[in-house]
Structure 1
Amino acid sequence: MKLLLFDFDGTLADTLPICIASFQEAFLQVDGVEWSEEEIEDILGPPETEILRTYTKHGDPEEAVECFYETYASLHPKVTADPAILEMLSALREAGFFLGIITGKARRGLDYSLRQLNMEGVVDWTIAGDETERAKPDPECVDRALQQFRTSKEETMILGDTDADIGAGQNAGITACAVNWLPGFTPKPLTLTPDAVFRSPEELRFWLYRQENPLDG
């Protein structure tokens, strides 16, 4: 492997709960409608700006967008970066891997979270949901990464916590692996079958080592 592509929410950071809460607040304050967590989860995938502009039916969609980001900023101090994930990313880059983030988050939300978590510069490249025409599981974001790094499909892996992540990898023809390694966060059960499931950053590093050194051990 040469290129590792990570999802963000639920994969590199436990930001999904504050995303859901921010959607709920925006819909309630601007549209006057209460959404359950399950209802919010069912519409996740596209960037938050697109979701709010699509589902705000009574109020001003742009006001809903601003309400979302105000709430997101107010809740973000509850989220901290996982030291094990930061150490893993640093070690992988030092070992020569190219690292990317491919997320459905809009650029505004992604950049805010990276700044707040002191994660700016921890990967080589990022692409946000509002920088592609089609959301995961469409492979567009993966194809863009392959073009950016000029790596082959055989040298590329996607890692994420949802069917959309696994589907994007499978649709692109690359290795697609699931992660369930954030303390206190349990991803929704997958319906797709990943190539591997990693329950800690150390498991991923060991798996990559074994791929490069199959005769060791």
Structure 2
Amino acid sequence: MTWKTICFDFDGTLADTLPLTFHCLKAVFEKYDNQTYSNHELIDMFGPTEDGIIKNHLKNKDKFDLAVEMYYRLYEQDHDSFVDHNEDIERMLHYLKYKGIKLGVMTGKSRRAFAISSTLCGLSHFFDVVITGDEVQHPKPHPEGLLKVMKELGSTPQEMIFIGDSMADIQAGKRANVTTAGVHWLDTYQSDHFETKPDYIWTHVDEFVSLFQNRKE
């Protein structure tokens, strides 16, 4: 079987942006609610976009607009302090594009946050289709976003693999009937283990690239 389409999650999969997300959310909740959350508590809020997380959990609802703008201001301002350039990821994407593989992203991030990170990480030009949390009614583990990527790329479940770092990624992939891979190849990832077993688990980018290189055309 040949994978003609590869869909990636973004945070914790293509960019080590989770520490930045934690930093910005903590700052927002501390400023407007005087509330402190741990990283694990913030992960439990994941699913909606950053705007949705703030809307769902901010106690001082009248400060929502200010809180959202603070989040994105910090996210862009502090991006380079938290997120390093990853040559392994960039080489992988270059290789896949060279091989003529269609590349998609399905992320729970907002379009605004994705635009900041994909631009500052130098990754935005690699993707044929990007579906963000703003463009779905049902976040992962619902397969809606993956099905949209598949439709826009003219792909089938048999031709696609979905690669992500969270349990929700694997569950979404299973529900979309695509091959799934759980990855721990960046320093920070969302799920320490996968209760729903993916088809593959990789801890280094080269494990995927070498496997892909060895597949029969």
User: Is it true that 1:104 corresponds to 2:108 in the alignment?
Assistant: yes
The alpha-carbon deviation at position 44 of structure 1 amounts to 1.1
Do the aligned partners of 2:8 and 2:162 also contact (CA within 8 Å) in 1? yes
Deviations 1:46-85 (A, max 9, x none): 1101111111112511111111112212321121221011
> SS of 1:130's equivalent?
helix
* TM-score (norm: length of structure 2): 0.93
Superposition RMSD in Å: 1.3
The alpha-carbon deviation at position 30 of structure 1 amounts to 1.4
- C-alpha distance in 2 between matches for 1:81 and 1:98: 23
* TM-score (norm: length of structure 1): 0.93
Determine which of 119, 122, 127 is the counterpart of 2:123.
Answer: 119
- C-alpha distance in 2 between matches for 1:143 and 1:194: 18
Instruction: Give aligned pairs, total.
Output: 212
Determine which of 15, 18, 21 is the counterpart of 1:19.
Answer: 21
Determine which of 164, 168, 182 is the counterpart of 1:164.
Answer: 168
Structure 2: which 5+ residue stretches go unaligned?
A: none
User: Is it true that 1:50 corresponds to 2:52 in the alignment?
Assistant: yes
Deviations 1:176-215 (A, max 9, x none): 1111111x335522211000012222111122233326xx
Do the aligned partners of 1:181 and 1:200 also contact (CA within 8 Å) in 2? yes
- C-alpha distance in 1 between matches for 2:140 and 2:184: 19
Residues 1-217 of structure 1 correspond to what in structure 2 (within 5 A)?
Answer: 1-59=3-61, 60-78=63-81, 79-182=83-186, 184-185=187-188, 187-212=191-216
- C-alpha distance in 1 between matches for 2:201 and 2:13: 12
Deviates more, 1:120-129 or 1:157-166: 120-129
Do the aligned partners of 1:154 and 1:174 also contact (CA within 8 Å) in 2? yes
Do the aligned partners of 2:9 and 2:164 also contact (CA within 8 Å) in 1? yes
Point out 4+ residue stretches in structure 1 off by more than 6 angstroms. Answer: none
- C-alpha distance in 2 between matches for 1:22 and 1:161: 20
Do the aligned partners of 2:18 and 2:188 also contact (CA within 8 Å) in 1? no
The alpha-carbon deviation at position 105 of structure 1 amounts to 0.2
Do the aligned partners of 1:84 and 1:201 also contact (CA within 8 Å) in 2? yes
- C-alpha distance in 1 between matches for 2:121 and 2:156: 31
Amino acid at match of 2:175: N
Relative contact order (C-alpha < 8 Å, sep 6+): which is higher?
Answer: 2
The alpha-carbon deviation at position 100 of structure 1 amounts to 0.7
Identity of aligned residues (%): 32
